[in-house]
Amino acid sequence: MSSLPQDNAVAMVQSDCIIDPGPPAPPLRLPPVKEVLSNYTLLTRIFSNIIPFDDRDANRAAIAAGRKRLLAIARVCSTFRDPALDCLWKCLGSLVPLLLLIDGVSLVDGVYNIADIQADQLGPSFFKCAERVQTLEISERMAIVHKDAPIDPNIYLLLSQQLGGAPLLPSLESIVLSLPTSPSSTTLPLPMILPCSSLHAVEVQGPILETEWCHNVFLQTLASRASNSLKRLVLKHDKTQVPFGGLWDTVLKLTALEALSICLPESRLNPPSGSLWLLLNRLTHLSSLNLEISDLTDSALGRLTRSPSSGPPGTSKYVSSLQHLSLLEDVRASYLSGSHASQLLVPVVVRSLTSVTLTSNRSDPWEKLEYVGDALGKCTDLRRVVLQSTKPGTKVYSSAILQFLDRVHPDEFVVNIDELYSYGGVTPDFFGRLLDKLGVGVVQSKKQGADRQGPQRLVHSLILPPNWGGYSIDLKSLARIAQKAPTLRRIGIPITSDLHPTTYQHITEFVSSGPLGPESSNLLHLELCDARDPECPGRISPYQYQIIAQYIDKLFPSIYI
C-alpha cells in the first residue's frame, strides 16, 4: 500500500496520461510603440540614419549636427541610451573622444596629456565605448574641430601597459584614410590598433597615397600585422601620379584579401614580370579585382600578364578564384594590337570570371569590341558584362555591339553609355540584326560549327543606351522581340510612342485578335525610354495609352508591373 497521501497519488496517476493541450496560444503582440521601443536592433537601425557616415559627400557640418542629435537622443531615456551611443561611437574621426574618458587626461599647453594611468582610471565607460568603435576614418570631414589638439605620445605608452597588448579598439572593422598629408603617430597609433582580428577593410584615398609614409609605414604595417584578417583593400587617387615602388609586393603579402581595388588612372605602373599571375596565385581567396590604371605601356602590359618562366606543375592550367573583374578601358587603343582591357583578359584571369565591368574615362567613342569578345569567349560561366563611361556624351558604335555578341553571350549585357551611334545613323536593320544574335537560331547554328567546348549560352538581359542617334524603335517592332528572341527576360531600349495610322491599326487589330499561343514572349522586365516629345502637337489620348498598355500586356503576358 502506498504511503503517499491520496491527492499526491492521484496527481501521479494523472501525470502518466498524455493530454493534448490543443493549438498553442498566439503570441501576445505588443502595441506598435512598445514593440519599437523594445526592439534594440530596430532602434539602432533608425538612429544610424541620423549621421550620414556612408555618404562620402556629407560635410563636416552635417556630421557634427548628427552627432549632437544622437547625443541628445541618448539622454532622452534609458531605452534610447545604448542604441544611440552605439551609433554615435560607431565611426570615429579621432581618438580624442575616447582618450578623454580616461580619468585625468587634460589639455596642458595645448596638448592632451596625463601624468600616469592606473587601472582604476579606465572605467567601464572607456572599455564600452572602445568596443563600440567599428570604423576609424581619419579625414578632414570627420575632424571634431578645425584644428584638433595633438596627443602626447606618453598617453599611448601608459595606456598600452594597462591593456597588456590587447588592441585599443577590439571591434574595429575598417580604417579609412583620406588626408592631404600623412597623419602623426599620435593621430593614428598603429601599434595600439593592430593586430586586430576584426579588421577586414581598409580604404586609402586622395593625396595621402603620394606620401612615403603611406607606402613605407602604413601599408607595410598592414602587411605585417593584418595580413590574416584583411579582406578588402581600396587604393584610390585620380588626380596625380602615385609612386608604385614596392606597392605590388606589399599587396602580395595580404594573402587573405577577397576584394582588391586599385583606382589610380593617372599613375604609371611598372610591374615586375608575371605580376598578375602572382597576384592570383598567392591571393587564393581573391574573388573581386578592380584595376583602373590607364597609363600602361605595351611593355608594362606584357610584364603584368606574362606567365612566370618557372612555376608549379599545371601553371598553364591554373584556375583562380577570381569572379568579378573591373578594368579601365582605353578606347583609343582599339585599332592597335587589341584593346587595353583585352590584353589583361588572359586565360589565367578569365577562366573563372562571372562578371566583367569595363569603364572608359575618356570621351572617345567605343568603336570596336571584338578583342574583348574574343578574350571573354574563354570564360566558362560568364553571367554579366557592363560597359560604362565616366564622361557624359560618350558614344558606342552599333557595329561594336554586334561584334561583341558575335563572340560571347553573357546572361546579362548592360551598355551604360549615353548614345548608340552609327555612320549614317542607326537604322531599323540594326534592331533586327541585334535580335537575330539573341535568338535561339543563331546559337543553334553556332553549335554546329563551334570551336568552343561546352554549352552555348543565351543573353537573358540586355540594356542598351537610351539615345540611338535620333532613331527610335516604333511600337510595332516590339512584336519582333517575342518572335526572334523568345528567351529574353529583360530588355531596355528607346521607343517612340507616336501612333501613326498604320501603327494604330496594327495595335488595335493585334489587341482584338485571339490568343498568341507559342508566339508569346517570356519577357519579365521591359524598360522603355520614350523618345517622343511630350509637348509636340497631337498628344496621345488616355484611350490611346490604354490601347498601348493592352498591346504590351498581350505581347508580354509574364511581365512584372
The backbone torsions φ and ψ at residue 7, rounded to the nearest 5 degrees and listed phi first, read -65, -40
Q: What is the pLDDT of residue 2?
A: 45
53 in any annotated domain? yes
Mean pLDDT to the nearest integer, 289-298: 74
Asked if pLDDT for residue 445 goes beyond 50, the answer is no
208 in any annotated domain? no
Listed as own residue / partner, the contacts of 153-157 with beta carbons closer than 8 Å and 24 or more positions apart are 153/185, 153/186, 154/113, 154/114, 155/99, 155/102, 155/105, 155/112, 155/113, 155/114, 155/117, 155/186, 156/186, 156/189, 156/192
219 in any annotated domain? no
Number of helical H runs and strand E runs in the chain: 23, 19
Closest by alpha carbon to 471, among 531, 538, 402, 398?
531
**Do 300 and 269 contact (CB within 8 A), yes or no?**
yes
Q: How far apart are CA 159 and CA 122, in angstroms?
A: 9
The DSSP bridge pattern shows strands 461-463 and 490-496 to be: parallel
DSSP 3-state of 122: coil
User: What is the number of domains present in the chain?
Assistant: 2
Asked if pLDDT for residue 180 goes beyond 90, the answer is no
For 490, other C-beta atoms within 10 Å of its C-beta total 18
513 in any annotated domain? yes
Q: How far apart are CA 327 and CA 379, in angstroms?
A: 16
Q: How far apart are CA 335 and CA 534, in angstroms?
A: 41
pLDDT interval class at 15 (50, 70, 90): very low
84 in any annotated domain? yes
**Do 323 and 356 contact (CB within 8 A), yes or no?**
no
pLDDT in tens, 264-289: 877 766 666 777 888 888 898 999 99
Q: What is the pLDDT of residue 452?
A: 46
Final residue before a domain boundary, out of 43, 65, 89: 89
Q: What is the pLDDT of residue 226?
A: 92
Q: Give the cell for residue 1.
A: 500500500
Closest by alpha carbon to 273, among 300, 254, 312?
300
Q: How far apart are CA 460 and CA 442, in angstroms?
A: 14
Q: What is the pLDDT of residue 489?
A: 92
Query: Which domain range does residue 560 map to?
Result: 472-561
Q: Give the cell for residue 428.
A: 531599323
Axis crossing angle, helix 78-89 with helix 124-132, rounded to the nearest 10 = 60
Q: What is the pLDDT of residue 5?
A: 47
pTM: 0.82
Asked if pLDDT for residue 85 goes beyond 70, the answer is yes
Closest by alpha carbon to 358, among 336, 325, 382, 332?
325
pLDDT in tens, 410-421: 999 999 999 988
The backbone torsions φ and ψ at residue 492, rounded to the nearest 5 degrees and listed phi first, read -125, 115
**Do 203 and 174 contact (CB within 8 A), yes or no?**
yes
21 in any annotated domain? no
Q: Give the cell for residue 365.
A: 567613342
Q: What is the pLDDT of residue 543?
A: 82
439 in any annotated domain? no
Distances (CA, A) of 182 to 188, 315, 333, 375: 10, 41, 37, 41
Q: Which helix (H) or strand (E) holds 120?
A: none
pLDDT in tens, 309-324: 544 444 445 557 889 9
Closest by alpha carbon to 253, among 291, 283, 216?
283
- The dihedral built from the CA positions of residue 166, 170, 173 and 179, taken in this order, carries a sign that is negative
* Range scoring the smallest mean pLDDT among 217-226, 250-259, 469-478: 469-478
Asked if pLDDT for residue 207 goes beyond 50, the answer is yes
Q: How far apart are CA 87 and CA 350, in angstroms?
A: 42
Mean pLDDT to the nearest integer, 87-92: 90
As a whole-number percent, the residues of the chain with pLDDT over 70 amount to 79
199 in any annotated domain? no
Q: How far apart are CA 356 and CA 366, in angstroms?
A: 16
